[in-house]
Amino acid sequence: MNMKESSQKAVLLLADGTRFEGRALGARGVAVGEVVFHTSGTSTHQLLTTPACQGQILAFTTPLIGNCGVNEDDAQGTGVFAVGMVVRECCRVPSNFRSRQSLPDYLSQRGVVAIEGVDTRALTRHLRDKGSCRGAIVSGQADEAALLRELASPAPVPPAPRAAQPAPRPRREDFHVAVLDLGCCRDLLLGLTLRGCRVTLLAPDTPFDDIAALGPDGVLLSDGPERLTPTEGALQTARALLQSGLPLYGVDAGHQLLAVAAGCRLEPLPAGHRGPNHPVHATGGATFTTTQRHGLTVVPESVDPARAAVTHVNRNDGSVEGLRYAGCPAFSTQYLPDHRGDSTGRADAIGAFLSAMAQRKEGGLNA
């Protein structure tokens, strides 16, 4: 398709007044959200549908986006959670055997306002230097001055999303895992079920007694939105879980929830970690590549050695990537575990969780 047909202008407006002009893509209208950049080139659809990206305008550093179209099988949640998308070039006629729909059609259909033709490298440099900020994609008519005023005020914290995806059934059932759903992505659930876990999805503030009543072999605290402010109920549950002796694994937002429950503080990263190439180093051990998407991080000084220990750090900036909690079979990772299992067997956090559950089961049998 010819570019002329989509040559309607659109603008990305940042809270500091920076403007990036481009062409309208997807739905027309105005999208307001947190503008963040991602270095993943092929997970566009996955990210748009990930509950963790709620409220975000996703800017991709990869210049050619949507070459392989969209396949609903890849969706990480029900519906689109991101509010907008910024790309340099979006493919109109995809070419891939799995493609069911082009990305522009998908965006239009789902009402996602997007913009293309943007110098995404200039945008990335801006966000890197100034930090992620609020912004708006204006596709069509809008009062920019009013928008700027709106962008200047702090963003309302949206209600926590839930993984409306029903958990798929495993072929075999080795363990029963209770998942505290902070906005769990499908791949994480898939990672559990592929390896023999039956999953029960629970709200994050489900009281501990209710969880215990289900008799799970372990509890996973899922990923979720970046700007999650844990409710008091969720924190109470997390504290109780850390006391329970149940195997626990916290991922991403779940990692942060457990960390806070263990007395840690969070702080924003200068530019966030959002991409598939973040090297993580296990203290005294291996280094491996991980996928991440977070803007907050655990303050290393706030880790109380009596309650938790840092097990993994980011090799590049030294930020906390993993914690082990004292006195219980609990650990958490800031990065997302590879749901397919790591091919070199080095970053298999889900495997570690399974081992913890297996150990407890054995212990239980022996006792």
Partner 1 sequence: MPKRSDIRRVLVIGSGPIVIGQAAEFDYAGTQACKALHEEGLEVILINSNPATIMTDKHMADHIYVEPLNVETVQRIIRLERPDSLLPTLGGQTGLNLAMELAESGFLEREGVKLLGCNPESIKKAEDREAFRETMMSIGEPIVPSGVVETVEDAKALALQIGYPVIVRPAYTLGGTGGGIAETPEQLVEIAENGLRHSRVGQVLIERCIAGWKEIEFEAMRDASGCAITICSMENVDPVGIHTGDSIVVAPAQTLGEPELSMLHASALKIITALGIEGGCNVQFALDPDSMEYALIEVNPRLSRSSALASKATGFPIAKVATKLAVGYRLDEILNTVTGKTYACSEPAVDYVVLKFPKWPFDKFVHAQRKLGTQMKATGEVMAIATSFEGALMKSVRSAEIGCDHLWQKELETLDKDALFKVLAACDDRRIFAIAALLRRGVTVDTLFSLTKIDRFFLRKLKGLVELEGELAQGPLTDELYNRAKTFCFPDGVIERLSGCKVTPTRRASFKMVDTCAAEYDAATPYFYSTWDEQCEVSPIQHKKVLVFGSGPIRIGQGIEFDYCSVHCVWAAKRCGCDTVIVNNNPETVSTDFDTADRLYFEPLTPEDVRAIVQAEGITQAIVQFGGQTAIKLAGCLADMGVEILGTSADSIDAAEDRERFDALLKKCGIPRPAGDTVFTVQQAVEAANRLGYPVLVRPSYVLGGQGMAIAFSDEDVAEYMEIVNRTTQEHPVLIDKYLMGKEVEVDAICDGQDILIPGIMEHVERAGVHSGDSISVYPTRTISGRTKLTMVNYTAAIARELKVKGLVNIQFVVYNDEVYIIEVNPRSSRTVPYISKVTGVPMVELATRCVLGEKLSDMGYGTGLYPEGQFHAVKVPVFSFEKLHDLDTQLGPEMKSTGEVLGLAEDYRQALLKGITAAGYRNRKGDCGVLLTVRDSDKQELIPIADRIAALGYELYATAGTARLLNSNMIATNVVRKIGEGKPDILDLLDSGKIGYVISTDTKGRIPSLDSVKIRRKAVERSIPCFTSIDTADAFVSCLELDMDTAELDLVDITKL
3-state secondary structure of 45: helix
Per-residue x/- track, 96-125, partner 1 (CB under 8 A): xxxx-------------------xxxx-xx
* Cα 15 to Cα 34: distance, rounded to the nearest angstrom: 10
43 vs 333, beta carbon nearer partner 1: 43
With beta carbons less than 8 A apart as the criterion, state whether 259 and 227 touch.
no
Per DSSP bridges, beta strands 218-221 and 248-251 are parallel
Phi, psi of 158 (to 5 degrees): -70, 155
Report in angstroms the alpha-carbon separations of 143 from 133, 136, 138, 168. Answer: 20, 12, 9, 46
Residue among 49, 56, 62, 334 that touches partner 1 (CB under 8 A):
62
DSSP string, 204-217: TT--HHHHHHH--S
Q: CB under 8 A: which stretch of 50-58, 61-69, 210-218, 303-311 binds partner 1?
A: 61-69
Query: What is the biggest distance separating any 2 CA atoms in the chain, rounded to whole angstroms?
Result: 73
- 22 is a contact residue toward partner 1 (CB under 8 A): no
Residue among 15, 55, 58, 88 that touches partner 1 (CB under 8 A):
88
98 vs 149, beta carbon nearer partner 1: 98
Residue among 16, 17, 93, 306 that touches partner 1 (CB under 8 A):
93
- 81 is a contact residue toward partner 1 (CB under 8 A): no
62 vs 256, beta carbon nearer partner 1: 62
Residue among 8, 109, 243, 277 that touches partner 1 (CB under 8 A):
277
Select from 171, 161, 170 the least CA-distant residue to 203.
Answer: 161
- 39 is a contact residue toward partner 1 (CB under 8 A): yes
Angle at 263 between CA 260 and CA 269, to 5 degrees: 50
Task: By CB under 8 A, name the binding residues for partner 1.
Answer: 2-3, 7, 37, 39, 41-43, 46, 61-64, 67-68, 71, 74, 88-89, 91, 93-99, 119-122, 124-125, 128-129, 271, 275-279, 281, 286-289, 315-317, 340, 342-344, 346
